[in-house]
Structures are given as structure tokens and as C-alpha cells.
A and B are shown apart, each in its own frame.
Chain A
Amino acid sequence: MNDDIRALTAQLAADPASLVFLPLGEALRRRGQLDAAQKVALAGLGRYPHLPDAHDLFAKILVDRKDFERAFDEWDMALRLDPQHAGALKGQGFLYYKAGDLPHALEFLEAALAESPDDPSLVAAVARVRAESGQGEAVPAEPGAPAAGPAPDADAATVRTSVFAGLEGAENGLLLVDTAGLRLGGGLLDPSGVDVADVVAAHLAGVSREAQRTVRLLGLGTWEAVIVEAPGGNAAAVPANSESLLLLMRDGSVPMGRLHLLADRAAKAARQWLEGIA
């Protein structure tokens, strides 16, 4: 075992929840230790099922194992989580190329190149696919050509905020999350305006289950809410139904006692919306 793998392995052993599994898995994969790499990747995916980089790592291992179908699924998942993930775009492009689908290969590779313009392997890959497609030298994209990779889905944003239509915080401060940590509706920005909705949704996966396990162990019945006070704001998490959780987040000016009431109101709206789409 060389020094970097040894060091990364020690780091992961010291903190199994850290993200060091990503460089460790990649290092093992590059050395051809696919069994070990896959073990590390799967353990990391178990902890971080909504981390695009984890799916990307696993996909690359699957490609090395010649399991292209599963690799496609993993990169597809990575792109669902992050439509601009360069590694996943590159991987899908490679798979399409391998399957002989040059138009799709070029679409994904060009999208990857747009995200990583300094990647020489991508520059070469795009040029090669263009040449094989009969496009010769690099051809500028035609105006109005559909964007490579998954197109931005403006309708999805509208649907997400319509869950809480009419409620304060519909676009920022209310999140409806399923048990897998995927956002069903709402939005959340951090104090600097960065969209953190999907990241926070991923962290909320399993909260309902753990809350219910805790109260059941204590003989406290059924959980109703988790109220949280944090330096940058307060939050309340309530079950919307058995398969979803609602998070309401407000700045510190909103008393914690009021959060539960506001969250319950939003949860009611969420239940109605969920019943409507069921």
C-alpha cells in the first residue's frame, strides 16, 4: 500500500463520516484495487446518498469493471443531483461514445467541457467526436441549439414553490423533503443568497425515522416537531405525512414558540398538495 493510500485510509478510519472516502476510493481505483475501491465507494454512498461526487466515483469503478449499464445509472443519478456535474457529464459522454451514439456523446462531452474548459482530456475527446461526426475542426454551437445535458427546468422551480403558495417563505425558508432526502417543494437560501435547498434536504434524510425511534424508546408516543435554535436562525421540522418532512427556517427574530405553529400551517398546505398529486 503506498503512502497516500495509507494516509487516506488512516484518515477515514479516524473519521468514517468524512469525505476522504472520495480521494481514497479514487486512489484505489487508479491502482487497480477495484474491490477495495468499490467497498470504500459504497460505504461512502451509504452515508452520502445524495452526493454527486460519490455517484461519480462509483460509476468510474463500475466502468473499470465493465459494468457500463450500472455506471450509466450512477452518472444519471449524479446529474439528477447536479445537472452541471462535470465528471458525470464526461462519463455519460464516454458511455454514449462507446455505444456509438455520437450526437449524444458530443452533447454531454461539450457540456462537460463547458464546466471544465481546462481539462485536456475533454478538449481532445470533443475534438475527436466532432471529427468522427464529420464536423471536422471545432464548430461553434449553433445559435438556439438545445443546451447540452439536462435542460434547466423552469417548470420544476414553479412547482416547488407552488406547494406553499400564499405562505410566507414559499421560495426561501420552507422545504418539503421526502424520506430519501430529496426535495419535494419549497426553497432555502443561505444568508449570502446561495441556494442550499438540496444540500439541506439531503441532510434531513432520516430525521423523521430517528425522531420517531427516539420518542418510541422513551415511551413518549409519536414525534410532533423538532425545534432548533441556531446562531443564524431558528428552525422547526414537522412531519408532513408518513413519507415527508417539512422544514421551516426563519431568522432569530421569530420566536421558537411561534415556529411550531408556522410549521404546522405549512405542513397542512404540504399535505393538501401531496394528496392532490397522489
Chain B
Amino acid sequence: MTAWADALELITRVPGIRGAMVVSAADGVVVAESLMDELKGNAVAALAASLTGRIGRATDGAGRGAPRFLQLQATGGTLLVAPHGPDLLIVAVAERTVNAGLARLEMFRAAERVA
């Protein structure tokens, strides 16, 4: 749990990141979180897992494989998801102005730190 907490802290240091968490891909349950209190972490985790699963079935069905990274862009911000193996998702909520490329790299690095 400490390893994930440290890894999530690296992600939340990226300017524009409001919160981050680790989610179980199978059931959308929060495994670890950072700064997600005001962001309805449990509900977001479930929806992020469901959306990633649905998109993953589409990319898999298209013969492109499972997603490595997913970004849900909205008018008021963005949700970033980096699957970590088949079982976990690293999820971050960010402002619209976030450097998504940097956030993506930090999410990958976070996964490498815990692997």
C-alpha cells in the first residue's frame, strides 16, 4: 500500500492533476488513492473500470489489443487511465490544461516503480 501511495504522489505532483488512484480493473474497487476525497473516488473508480473495459473490448475486437492508455476529455477537465497489467488501473483526474503527455509518462513510471 505504501509503494502505491508513493507512486501516486508522483502523479499528483504533475501540475493540473487533481487526484489519482489505483483501481481494480475487474470490479472497479479502489486499491489506493491520493487526493481523491472531493472527487467521489469510489464512484469514479467503478465508472473508469467499466469504461476502460468497454473500450478494451472494442480495441481487442478490432485486433489492436488491450489499451495501454486512455484519456477521457471533457469540457471541464480530463480523466486519464493507464492499465497496469490485466488487474489494475492507474487513474488520474486532471484539469483540462494538464500536460497529458507528462501525466501519461508519470503514470507509466508509477507503475514501473511498483512492479
Contact = CB atoms under 8 A, between A and B. Distances in A.
B64 A218 contact: no
Given A200-B58, A215-B72, A233 B47 contact: no
Nearest to A212: B74
A168 B57 CA distance: 24
B114 interface: no
B64 A235 contact: yes
Interface residues of A, number: 40
A227 interface: yes
Interface in A229-257: 229-233, 235, 237, 247, 249, 256
A66 B93 CA distance: 53
A261 to B, nearest CB: 12
Contacts of B58: 200, 203-204, 207, 235, 247
A115 interface: no
Interface in B49-73: 50-51, 54-55, 57-59, 61-73
Interface in A203-232: 203-204, 206-207, 210-211, 213-215, 217-232
A214 B54 contact: no
A230 B52 CA distance: 12
Interface of B: 39-40, 43-44, 47-48, 50-51, 54-55, 57-59, 61-79, 93
14 contacts: A190-B62, A190-B64, A214-B51, A215-B76, A217-B47, A218-B44, A221-B74, A222-B74, A223-B72, A224-B73, A226-B73, A229-B68, A229-B69, A230-B64
Interface of A: 188, 190-192, 194, 196, 199-200, 203-204, 206-207, 210-211, 213-215, 217-233, 235, 237, 247, 249, 256, 260
